[in-house]
Amino acid sequence: MSSVEPQNSTTVPEQPTRRKRGVPEGLWLRCDGCGATVFRKRVDQGQRLCPECGHHFYATISQRIEQLLDAGSFEEWCAELASVDPLGFVDKKPYRERVAAEQRKTGLREACVVGRGYLRGRPLVIGLTDSAFIMGSMGSVVGEKLTRAIEAATETKLPLVIVSGSGGGARMHEGIFSLMQMGKVSAALARFHEAGGLYISVLTNPTMGGVAASFASLGDIIIAEPKALIGFAGPRVVKATVKQPLPDDFQTSEFLLEHGFIDRIVARPQLRSEIARIIDYCGH
């Protein structure tokens, strides 16, 4: 976090400092889509969409639950699960401290929330990951919560929806314990699939790394929000590896739809009715 304060001196060379000109911080947002400065409250009231261009801003897990599920119907499972520090990992700070700081910052206990709820009157099991919590990376708790949710969906024969928002895949702070979650969650999904379950995967910006390489890509139906970044390694790494210029829209929802990786792009305001329609269509 920057500790640089805006300075009055004219001798200071231009540098990106935070603007604080009497406007209460956070009241306005700058849209990455159209560059407009938009009133945060309007964005919040409009499902976190830019009122000018429809750009999809980041939405928290609780905002997503509110947008998708019937009011008051969500029942959270395994809320008590929290990360341990199996490796005693330290980078810039100890992993335990990092987790505590992320918990304070996001109000979440971990990068994933699972539970059961109703979507337009249809019961379902839902899991969501939040890219704001250590990039939404899949540590042991994320993997365990998702696995338990998938197993519960298998037992109860309810449709499963997982909304992915993960800039990171594996959580390096947990090493091999994190990597093993990919296999664990995928195996649970395979059993769910064999039992005839319906799994709808919703990809949001960003869905990358081990999350994209496991549960996010295993949906019976894969939906993406418009212009989401979706891929395994980042474009810079891919470019350096293949030594070829990449298409402009590489790793976007639109590119992946065209290449058959996802089934449909659905704007956030239509997500709820679209999921309801798929559940009905699949007879679940």
Instruction: Report residue 187 as tokens.
Output: 């195996």
Exposure string over 54-72, b if 16+ CB within 10 A, otherwise e: bbbbebbbeebbeebbeee
CA distances to 116, 152, 157, 198, 211 from 192, in Å = 16, 9, 9, 8, 18
Question: Considering only CA atoms, which of 112, 221, 97 is closest in space to residue 164?
Answer: 112
Q: Tell the smallest beta-carbon distance from residue 230 to Zn ion (Å).
A: 20
Q: Tell the smallest beta-carbon distance from residue 106 to Zn ion (Å).
A: 24
Closer by beta carbon to Zn ion, 35 or else 175: 35
Q: Tell the smallest beta-carbon distance from residue 51 to Zn ion (Å).
A: 8
Q: Are 21 and 240 in contact (CB under 8 A)?
A: no
Q: Tell the smallest beta-carbon distance from residue 204 to Zn ion (Å).
A: 17
Closer by beta carbon to Zn ion, 116 or else 268: 268
CA dihedral 271, 272, 274, 275 (to 10 degrees): 110
Rounded CA-CA distance 120/117 in Å is 10
3-class secondary-structure state, position 70: coil
Rounded CA-CA distance 242/110 in Å is 35
Q: Tell the smallest beta-carbon distance from residue 48 to Zn ion (Å).
A: 12
Is 53 marked as binding a ligand?
yes
Question: Considering only CA atoms, which of 83, 55, 21 is closest in space to residue 226?
Answer: 55
Q: Tell the smallest beta-carbon distance from residue 229 to Zn ion (Å).
A: 17
Closer by beta carbon to Zn ion, 27 or else 176: 27
CA distances to 25, 64, 67, 167, 268 from 39, in Å = 12, 20, 20, 26, 19
Q: Are 213 and 231 in contact (CB under 8 A)?
A: no
Phi, psi for 220 (deg, rounded to 5): -65, -40
Is 50 marked as binding a ligand?
yes
Residue the block writes with tokens 């390489």: 213
Rounded CA-CA distance 230/136 in Å is 14
DSSP 110-130: SSEEEEEEEETTEEEEEEEE-
Closer by beta carbon to Zn ion, 43 or else 185: 43
Binding site for Zn ion (CB under 5 A): 31, 33-34, 50, 52-53, 55
Closer by beta carbon to Zn ion, 30 or else 93: 30
Closer by beta carbon to Zn ion, 20 or else 42: 42
Is 78 marked as binding a ligand?
no
Closer by beta carbon to Zn ion, 53 or else 282: 53
Q: Tell the smallest beta-carbon distance from residue 282 to Zn ion (Å).
A: 34
| Binding-site residues for Zn(2+) | 31, 34, 50, 53
